[in-house]
Structure 1
């Protein structure tokens, strides 16, 4: 699969076929992609906690915020929830400044998932103290985000921004629409 295709298919999916399970080894393989990705100053401060067991995934789910722009939606219903997660942490014993490592690592992991026929969503809206308590995460690890991963069941449509509206939305059929700025708007000709 070409990189253009992988990036285009790497959407923020929020509904999945929960019956399609992801193995521990698949998660470890995708974390391995983050291991070989760029790291500011090559400090490599990120740590990862893979969760694939249904019981642990079910305990994590209520600690996550889903799709803030969709005010009338509280997240995926049972059967449409992610079948795995990866907790992303910063090891403050290595550094307190992880720069942009989290975004690079998350993108690498999700591109690996997409290549394997899965998809995911980066979630930073997390009840962090409850998460720390639930999984007994030592204080030295700063909770950065949770990657929710599964077999997507929703259609995501990319469209051009109209009238400055950049907020994603769902239509009556449940299709998820994501407005994107045009390439001409992104490139400054100075």
Structure 2
């Protein structure tokens, strides 16, 4: 039994793939979600991201169509909001540290920001799904994202039209150990 409100939030969050088309996402809820993303931690405080928020109905359908392909993500065409996460340049400290440690910190940082977005959405009573499969060129063309930039994620948000389901996760013994591998 979990006592923590945060753990309850984490447990309640799921990848939603069906949205109530009759309900728009309130701008104030979206603003709070985006503030959570903006405040996410990043290596050397580089904040190597830009969030392109698609709320226009017609554009959301077009972006959704560019996210659906080969039978994947068909539900994205009906999502009312798309938060497109674009990788921006890291600062020099993060770039140098990444070279030394052979890690591309912006990818890690964007993952952390994405986690903030979906947890914030859940806290606002909204469903979400993080998508990495989409026609990057098409979405860039639709939204004016420069060709030179990497569009890493499309996070769809809306009111879920499905009930919560039980999470399936590996047992903790398989993923957690203390002091030794």
TM-score bin (small chain): 0.7 to 0.9
Question: Does the 8 A contact of 1:22 with 1:150 survive in 2?
Answer: yes
Question: Does the 8 A contact of 2:86 with 2:153 survive in 1?
Answer: yes
Q: Does 1:125 align with 2:124?
A: no
Secondary structure at 1:76 match in 2: helix
* TM score, norm. by length of structure 2: 0.80
C-alpha distance in 2, partners of 1:86/1:31? 9
Return the structure number with greater strand share: 1
What's the counterpart of residue 98 of structure 2? none
1:152 aligned to which of 122, 137, 160:
160
C-alpha distance in 2, partners of 1:77/1:92? 28
In the TM superposition, residue 142 of structure 1 has moved relative to its aligned partner by: 1.3
C-alpha distance in 1, partners of 2:76/2:86? 27
Question: Does the 8 A contact of 1:16 with 1:82 survive in 2?
Answer: yes
TM-superposition CA deviations, 1:69-122 (whole Å, max 9, x none): xx7x762397xx211110100113757741411111111111111111101000
C-alpha distance in 1, partners of 2:59/2:91? 28
2:84 aligned to which of 79, 87, 103:
87
Q: Structure 2: which 5+ residue stretches go unaligned?
A: 96-103
C-alpha distance in 2, partners of 1:64/1:156? 24
Secondary structure at 1:106 match in 2: helix
Higher relative contact order (CA 8 A, sep 6+): 2
Q: Structure 1: which 5+ residue stretches go unaligned?
A: 159-177
What's the counterpart of residue 114 of structure 2? 106
What's the counterpart of residue 53 of structure 2? 50
In the TM superposition, residue 13 of structure 1 has moved relative to its aligned partner by: 0.7
The number of equivalent residue pairs is 165
C-alpha distance in 1, partners of 2:44/2:91? 12
What's the counterpart of residue 175 of structure 1? none
Return the structure number with greater helix share: 2
What's the counterpart of residue 182 of structure 1? 171
What's the counterpart of residue 63 of structure 2? 60
Q: Structure 1 residue runs of 4+, over 6 Å off?
A: none
* TM score, norm. by length of structure 1: 0.77
